[in-house]
Structure 1
Amino acid sequence: MERPKSIPEYFISKRNIYVQIAFTTVFAYAFINIYEPFGAAHWYAITKWQFLLYSGLLVLLGMVVVIVSRVIMYQINKVRSVSILQYSWMVAAEIIIMAAFFALIEDYALDDSRTYAELWFIAIQNTALILLIPYVISLLFFAFQEKKIKLENLMFDYLRKPAIDFIPFRDENGVMRLSLKKSDLLYLEASENYVLVHYRVRSDIKQYLLRNSLKKLENEMKPHHILRCHRSYMVNIEQVKMMQKGKKGLELHLNGPENLVIQVSKTYEPVIIAELDLLPSASQSL
């Protein structure tokens, strides 16, 4: 059975979630005051300024639903990738729940003569417009930004690529923060919302703290033979001097001024063994 396709990471990166919520809030506020959905023009005999205030409170209530939804989605994505279908269901749930709140306000607070079911159905249509339009616009913008960053990075790599193999390290927004000779890189280590880049400077080992995740770096590092070997580690395969079975499983011993040992988890053992089989310089003691 084919695995459900995951949504792009930039759809629910922390920065883009903030941007999307802010843009949706502004759009919803303008939409309600210009279009006046939910029969807003017939609520009560209030001034335009009062309507601006009440509609603002209504938008803030709706955004609470969106924020809760996005927090849940963000936390799920930290554990496992969110599929396109799951993302669609979360957006549909936002519309349905938000519409239920709006219909409840109309039915009880505003004493509307229509049935709650009728009010809810109309509210779903209006809420879908309020949310889906800014969602589509913001996602198209994020996709454009992502393609732009990738194109700029490709151009940078093409124009700057020297005879020596350098590895660029970019943060979660695609901005390059560090470039290392491949022969100096030892391994990468996950550290909460950051990645520790361990590299060699003469006889010392240095670390660079990069705001990113191993999950995002995994595909970027594969062409350089920097492979995931553990939930918390990626290793420069060319720096492995020995591979052996330890008490906790497979271990990788790296070149360095001190004895560096990286644990390999069961999940990644086949990939690491297959890769090291292609590198005769790596001694194996299994």
Structure 2
Amino acid sequence: MQKPSSRLALVAAGVTVVLWASAFVSIRSAGAAYSPGALALGRLLSGVLVLGAVLLVRREGLPPRAAWPGIAVSGLLWFGVYMVVLNWGEQEVDAGTAAMVVNVGPILIALLGARFLGESLPPRLLAGMAVSFAGAVTVGLSMSRDSAGGHASVLGVALCLLAAVAYAGGVVAQKPALAHGSALQVTTFGCLVGAVACLPFAGQLAGEVGRAPLSATLNMVYLGVFPTALAFTTWAYALARTTAGRMGATTYAVPALVVLLAWAFLGELPGPLTLAGGALCLAGVAVSRSRPRGSAATATTESA
């Protein structure tokens, strides 16, 4: 039987996955009016304002000194580099290709977690990730086919691959920081580090915010408040209570949810191949998070 904290961590992981999936819908609107760097900076500034206000209300203060190396690295790689290069990469390749390349990230998280954090790679985790990755490839291929044959430049693929590497590096760097600071502290100051790294795009943001339609600006703010401030905090809460590899595998549910959200809010009816790929993603997540019978004792300490 799971402890209440384990169930809360599972709920937190679910909140993260749903909000990150919703981000793809919002990015499609905001990205039409904002350049990659300006969109990343506007999103991060919105997130910092919300997180900073919550931090002050809760009076958590600065994180301990031991947490800062992980906060700095994850803030630079995940909040900074990842957001900018992913926005840029999605302008150079179709959404399907971007989804396939970026979904290398969870595999890299598991490998880096094993190398630098001493995490194990249980067979069920590896099998689940393989199934989910096959589903992500299926979704990507179906999306590429449906978007007028798709397009993929070498630059775009390289940017999406860089985004996956930055994402994986950021997650692995964040895990040790959570042993010293709270989820709110690590997320708030990681977001601040990312915003500072993106300040060179301040001029672009100032110029574009005056020309952008209100809907695009609202979507940028939404990205900062929910998929960034809230979702990164719930992610950190869950990550502190499980392994980086298992949390990375959980994000394979995102492509399936993106398909459902695009269907619900954009009227984009998914084809049979897309639905099959989404089902594979969810099946792989279920396998990666399952445990052999008789491991209930360890589940209470590792479950997210």
TM-score bin (small chain): under 0.3
Q: Name the structure with the higher strand share.
A: 1
Q: Name the structure with the higher helix share.
A: 2
* TM-score normalised to structure 1 length: 0.27
